[in-house]
Amino acid sequence: MKILVAIAFILIIVSLSSALIFLMRDKGRSLRTMKALAFRVGFSVTLFILILIAYYLGYIKPTGLLY
């Protein structure tokens, strides 16, 4: 589970950095920036849903730091 979350975070960061690169190169004249940001949002939502499902299935447990 930890590896899956780490991969998702890496995908989010790569997508965000590629959006920045596209924005700097294209100066907002193409749709590549919007597509990269849409992928980032998709990866973030997918990661959130994956964490919720893993919690409900018992793959991850709360650590007790807040209790």
For the cut 60, the answer to whether the pLDDT of residue 67 exceeds it is: no
Among candidate residues 37, 41, 46, 3, the one with its CA nearest the CA of residue 17: 37
**pLDDT score, position 45:** 92
* Cα first-last separation, the chain: 23
Max Cα distance, the chain (Å)? 50
Q: Which two tokens stand for residue 18?
A: 């590629």
Percent of the chain with pLDDT over 70: 96
Strands (E), the chain: none
Q: SS3 of 62, please?
A: coil
Read off the pLDDT of residues 17-48 as tens digits, 9 standing for 90 and up. 988 888 888 877 788 888 888 988 998 999 89
**pLDDT score, position 29:** 78
